[in-house]
Amino acid sequence: GQLTRCYHKNVVEHYENPRNVGAFDKSDPTVGTGLVGAPACGDVMKLQIKVDENGFIVDSKFKTFGCGSAIASSSVATEWVKGKSIEEVLTIKNSDIAKHLSLPPVKLHCSMLAEDAIKAAVKDIQAKMKAAAAEKGAKA
C-alpha cells in the first residue's frame, strides 16, 4: 500500500545504516516528541516529527536505546512518516513495519515501540498546536 512505499532500495540498510538518527529541539513549537518504552525488555525509543503549518510532517528523527530490530523499526518509521499528515501516520501499524523488516514473532514488540512512538509524537504536536491556537485566539 501507499504507507509502505519506500524511498530507498534495501531493507538491510535499516540495520547497517539506520536513517534519520538524531534529535530536534524538544521545545520547538513545530516539533512533536514521542518517548516510549517496551515493558518486555526495557528498551526505549524517542521519535520526533517536525510539522509544517498544515500538519504535514516535513522531517523526522529518532534515538533508540534498544535492540537492532527496534533501531531498524525506528529507521523505517521515520522514513514512512515524512510527507504525510499527522492523521495519516496514525494508520501506520507495527505489523506493516515488522513485515517490511521480516521481523520474527519474538521481535514484534520492537516494531510496536515504533508504532507507539509515532502515536506519542502526534499526541505531543497536537497538544502544542492546540495551545498555539488558543494563544492566538486569546491575543486576537
Grid cell for residue 137: 485566539
Active-site annotation holds for 110:
yes
Taking the least distance from each CB to ligand FES, the nearer of 107 and 128 is 107
Give the CA angle between residues 126, 61, 36 to the nearest 5°: 65
> Min. distance of Cβ 49 from ligand FES in angstroms?
16
> Min. distance of Cβ 47 from ligand FES in angstroms?
13
CA nearest neighbour of 68 among 14, 19, 11: 14
Taking the least distance from each CB to ligand FES, the nearer of 20 and 128 is 20
Residues that bind ligand FES (CB under 6 A): 6, 8, 11, 14, 38, 40-41, 43, 66-67, 69-70, 76, 79, 100, 109-110, 113
Cα 45 to Cα 32: distance, rounded to the nearest angstrom: 14
Active-site annotation holds for 67:
no
Grid cell for residue 132: 498555539
